[in-house]
């Protein structure tokens, strides 16, 4: 018999049923998640995409192509709402991250007593419901509220926090900063505590002071965390809804109107669901682009 003949090769080309079951088992465990994911996430997204390309005619959806998107690009109210959140993003997010870095550095100091108590104090605001704290701030910032009463004690005039275009933006920034700074403090504090103490000891041996150590060691090592927080803050700001809805309802004169609040008005007050779907997709694309740019810039800075 020749060595290369098929009879000399004892190879079972038929797959064993046990191997098939073993290969299929992980997918069977994933099947419930995949079904739920498809039905409640992928399905609605695909349907919303179809709705954004259609319009209601005679009680039924009629395909209209990019009509809704062409209308959106010419909608000055939508772009005004986007400009509002860009202003909040450019001002509030850097201030919040700077405060978070400062407070995290203070909480990381070994000289601070009762550190656990102060850490809990910074994290408590994030545990409060968004609607609840927005309602509290609406009472604090009204014309005859506590904030103006405190300002009056020091001789400052009362401010129409919720009725003046600029003051209303500032009021929302104050509320956001109070609620989310502690969340970022906890994340940064975890990053600081993960830095090996030997690095600081070597820097002290070389004569570096506390400020020099912070700028040369702590801050560079925290760049990935700061990028992560900035991306989350960007996404959250572009999705801002509850605070302007409760505090100002988008006013005065649309000064605090946000894209999501505008989407809500279009969808659930005017019942233009196709147009609202187009707004949602454009907003999602903008969030993805900004997040990608932030990661690319941070990666380039780290490489440099």
pLDDT digit string (tens) for the chain, length 304 residues: 455 554 544 555 555 566 777 788 888 888 899 999 999 999 999 998 998 898 876 567 778 888 899 999 999 999 999 999 999 999 999 999 999 999 998 888 877 788 788 888 888 898 899 999 999 999 999 888 899 999 888 888 888 999 999 999 999 999 999 999 999 999 999 898 888 888 888 888 888 888 888 888 888 889 889 988 998 999 999 999 999 999 999 988 899 999 999 999 999 988 888 899 999 999 999 999 988 888 787 776 554 4
Instruction: Please indicate, yes or no, whether residues 36 and 146 belong to a single structural domain of this protein.
Output: no
Distance of CA 186 to the CA centre of its chain: 16
90, burial (CB in 10 Å: exposed 0-12, middle 13-18, buried 19+): exposed
Q: Can you list the alpha helix ranges (DSSP code H) found in the chain?
A: 17-37, 43-52, 67-73, 76-107, 115-127, 130-140, 146-153, 165-193, 197-205, 210-213, 219-221, 223-238, 242-247, 259-268, 273-303
Instruction: Please indicate, yes or no, whether residues 251 and 196 belong to a single structural domain of this protein.
Output: yes
User: Residue holding tokens 């760049």?
Assistant: 223
Task: Please check whether residue 187 lies inside any domain of the structure.
Answer: yes
Q: Are 271 and 184 in contact (CB under 8 A)?
A: no
Residue 1 pLDDT: 47
Task: Please check whether residue 152 lies inside any domain of the structure.
Answer: yes
CATH number at residue 206: 1.10.3720.10
> pLDDT tens-digit profile of 142-171?
888 899 999 888 888 888 999 999 999 999
Hey, what are 34's tokens?
């995949």
Phi, psi angle pair for 60, to nearest 5°: -135, 155
Q: Classify residue 41 by its DSSP letter.
A: I
Task: Please check whether residue 57 lies inside any domain of the structure.
Answer: no
| Biggest CA-to-CA distance, the chain | 109
Instruction: Please indicate, yes or no, whether residues 165 and 277 belong to a single structural domain of this protein.
Output: yes
Distance of CA 3 to the CA centre of its chain: 67
Nearest-angstrom CA–CA distance, 234 and 298: 14
Instruction: Please indicate, yes or no, whether residues 172 and 279 belong to a single structural domain of this protein.
Output: yes
Instruction: Please indicate, yes or no, whether residues 43 and 131 belong to a single structural domain of this protein.
Output: no
Q: Are 50 and 61 in contact (CB under 8 A)?
A: yes
Dihedral angle, C-alpha 175, 181, 183, 188, nearest 10 °: 170
Instruction: Please indicate, yes or no, whether residues 291 and 200 belong to a single structural domain of this protein.
Output: yes
Which of 45, 192, 182 has its CA nearest to residue 126?
182
User: Which residue range(s) make up the domain with 238?
Assistant: 70-303
> pLDDT tens-digit profile of 175-225?
999 999 999 999 999 898 888 888 888 888 888 888 888 888 888 889 889
Nearest-angstrom CA–CA distance, 293 and 108: 31
193, burial (CB in 10 Å: exposed 0-12, middle 13-18, buried 19+): exposed
Task: Please check whether residue 121 lies inside any domain of the structure.
Answer: yes
Residues in the chain: 304
Residue 91 pLDDT: 95
Instruction: Please indicate, yes or no, whether residues 37 and 80 belong to a single structural domain of this protein.
Output: no
Instruction: Please indicate, yes or no, whether residues 203 and 261 belong to a single structural domain of this protein.
Output: yes
Total number of domains constituting the chain:
2
User: Residue holding tokens 């090769």?
Assistant: 9
What lies within 8 Å, CB to CB, of 53 at 6+ separation is 63, 64, 65, 66, 67, 68, 274
Hey, what are 145's tokens?
């509220």
Task: Please check whether residue 61 lies inside any domain of the structure.
Answer: no
Task: Please check whether residue 265 lies inside any domain of the structure.
Answer: yes
Beta bridge partners of 54: 63
Phi, psi angle pair for 56, to nearest 5°: -80, 125
Q: Are 176 and 234 in contact (CB under 8 A)?
A: no
Q: Classify residue 215 by its DSSP letter.
A: I
């Amino acid at each position: 018999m020749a060595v290369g003949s098929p009879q000399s090769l004892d190879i079972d080309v038929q797959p064993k049923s046990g191997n098939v079951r073993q290969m299929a088992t992980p997918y069977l465990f994933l099947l419930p998640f995949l079904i739920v994911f498809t039905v409640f996430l992928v399905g609605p997204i695909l349907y919303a995409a179809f709705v954004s390309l259609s319009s209601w005619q005679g009680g039924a959806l009629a395909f209209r192509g990019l009509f809704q998107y062409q209308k959106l690009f010419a909608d000055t109210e939508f772009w005004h709402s986007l400009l509002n959140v860009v202003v909040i993003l450019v001002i509030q997010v850097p201030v919040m991250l700077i405060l978070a870095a400062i407070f995290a550095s203070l909480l990381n100091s070994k000289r601070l007593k009762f550190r656990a108590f102060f850490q809990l104090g910074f994290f408590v605001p994030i545990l409060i419901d968004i609607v609840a704290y927005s309602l509290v701030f609406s009472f604090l910032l009204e014309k005859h509220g506590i904030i103006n009463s405190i300002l009056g004690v020091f001789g400052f005039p009362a401010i129409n926090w919720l009725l003046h275009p600029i003051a209303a933006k500032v009021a929302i920034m104050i509320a956001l900063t109070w609620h989310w700074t502690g969340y970022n403090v906890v994340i940064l504090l975890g990053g600081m505590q993960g830095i090996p103490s030997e690095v600081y000891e070597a820097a002290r041996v070389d004569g570096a002071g506390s400020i020099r150590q912070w700028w040369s060691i702590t801050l560079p090592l925290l760049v990935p965390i700061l990028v992560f927080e900035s991306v989350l803050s960007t996404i959250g700001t572009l999705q801002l809804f509850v605070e302007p809805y409760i505090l100002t309802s988008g006013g005065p004169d649309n000064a605090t109107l946000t894209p999501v609040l505008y989407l809500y008005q279009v969808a659930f007050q005017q019942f233009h669901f196709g147009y609202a779907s187009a707004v949602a997709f454009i907003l999602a694309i903008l969030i993805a682009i900004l997040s990608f740019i932030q990661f690319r810039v941070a990666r380039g800075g780290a490489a440099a």
